[in-house]
Amino acid sequence: MLHLRLITPSDRTDDVVRLIEKTVGTTHLVVLPGTARNPAGDVVMCDVAREAGDELLSGLQELGLDRTGSIAVENIDLSLSKRAEKAEDEAPGEGADAVLWEHLAEETHEESTLSVTYLAFITIATMIAACGVVLDNAILIVGAMAVGPEFGPLAGVCTSIVQRAPRLALRSLIALVVGFAVAMALTVGFSLFMDAVGLFTKEQLEGDRPQTSFVYAPDWFSFVVAVLAGAAGTLSLTSAKSGALVGVAISVTTVPAAANAALALSFGDTRQTIGSSEQLALNLLGIILAGTLTLLAQKWFWARQRKEFIREPA
What is residue 243's predicted lDDT score, i.e. its pLDDT?
Answer: 55
What is residue 251's predicted lDDT score, i.e. its pLDDT?
Answer: 66
Q: What is the pTM of this model?
A: 0.78
| Interatomic CA distance for residues 169 and 38, integer angstroms | 33
The torsion defined by the Cα of 200, 205, 211 and 212, in degrees rounded to 10, comes to 100
The class that CATH gives domain 2-95 is alpha beta
Cis-peptide into 210, omega within 30 deg: no
CA angle 6, 8, 13 (to 5 degrees): 110
What is residue 168's predicted lDDT score, i.e. its pLDDT?
Answer: 86
3-state secondary structure of 289: helix
Domain definitions of the chain by residue range: 2-95, 103-301
Mind listing the pLDDT tens digit of every residue in the chain (314 residues)? 899 999 999 999 999 999 999 888 899 999 999 999 989 999 999 999 888 888 888 899 999 998 999 999 998 888 888 998 888 887 766 655 567 777 777 777 777 889 999 999 999 999 999 999 999 998 999 899 888 888 889 988 998 998 888 888 999 999 999 999 999 999 999 999 999 999 999 898 888 888 888 888 888 888 998 999 888 888 887 776 655 565 666 667 799 999 999 999 999 999 999 999 999 999 999 999 999 999 998 888 776 665 554 444 44
3-state secondary structure of 123: helix
3-state secondary structure of 101: helix
What is residue 309's predicted lDDT score, i.e. its pLDDT?
Answer: 47
